[in-house]
Structure 1
């Protein structure tokens, strides 16, 4: 057991987010997503929901403030104007933990393509449809680093 590490982050996922650099992307995807065939290394998070896992990841992963967008969700097929309830939950989590970042919609195949170039895909056991989000990692500011050092 480690201190100050979110309990939903297992060793593989913790390693993944720790080794990502500024601008790298990570996809957190639902149980229906073709994670094994899209391309990047897959971290399994079976049994975990996408929203709690998003919260766990954002507890430690800063979003990119230098890019025009730092988070993307998959649009619904045939009704792209509708935001699924799980994606509304994602937005609330991002707002609460990361700050005012708008989660941008991506058409289904554009989402697959972007996820295919991510550093990692986290395959959850989430059953909600369209429970897919991509995050772009930002930087830890000197102020954040000094706050951490002060806790030591």
Structure 2
């Protein structure tokens, strides 16, 4: 065990987050997401919901402040103007954890799939709510 780290952060997830550079992206996806066919770098967190995973990742990884959009979610395919409950939860976590203002940009379902394929890694959670998917763009640590 390590002091000060959320125990959700598995060795594989810690390795991926540390190996990522500024501008690299990581996707946190729900249990229904086609993750195995979307990436070679799949990290499974089956017993964890997506908000818990998001909070753990953001506890040690900054979002990029030098881009307009640093967080992306999947639009509701049946109602693109709807802000799904899972995404509302994600936005609340980002607002609570991040020091900068980051609004989640919604992407059409297939655009989200394509975007996620370019992520450094995909973290598949046990999230059962629909649209429990988010992509984060890693930022830089502040200067000492």
TM-score, normalising length: structure 2: 0.97
SS in structure 1 of the partner of residue 36 of structure 2: helix
Measured in 1, the distance between the counterparts of 2:91 and 2:67 equals 18
SS in structure 1 of the partner of residue 63 of structure 2: coil
CA-atom RMSD in angstroms: 0.8
Contact 1:31/1:125 (8 A) holds in 2:
yes
- Is 18-27 or 31-40 further displaced after alignment? 31-40
Residues 58-101 of structure 1 show CA distances to partners (whole Å, capped at 9, x for unaligned) of 00010001111100000000201001111100000001101310
- Unpaired runs of 5+ residues, structure 1, are 147-152
SS in structure 2 of the partner of residue 134 of structure 1: strand
TM superposition shift of 1:25: 0.1
Measured in 1, the distance between the counterparts of 2:62 and 2:75 equals 24
* Count of residues in Structure 1 that have an aligned counterpart in Structure 2: 143
Residues 98-118 of structure 1 show CA distances to partners (whole Å, capped at 9, x for unaligned) of 131000000000000000000
Measured in 2, the distance between the counterparts of 1:62 and 1:4 equals 16
Runs of 4+ in 1 over 3 A off after TM superposition: none
Match of 2:129 in 1: 128
Match of 1:100 in 2: 101
- Cα distance change, pair 40–115 in 1 and its aligned pair in 2 (3 A): farther
- Unpaired runs of 5+ residues, structure 2, are none
Measured in 2, the distance between the counterparts of 1:46 and 1:81 equals 30
TM-score, normalising length: structure 1: 0.92
Contact 1:40/1:119 (8 A) holds in 2:
no
SS in structure 2 of the partner of residue 139 of structure 1: coil
SS in structure 1 of the partner of residue 95 of structure 2: helix
TM superposition shift of 1:38: 1.1
Larger Rg: 1
Measured in 2, the distance between the counterparts of 1:132 and 1:102 equals 15
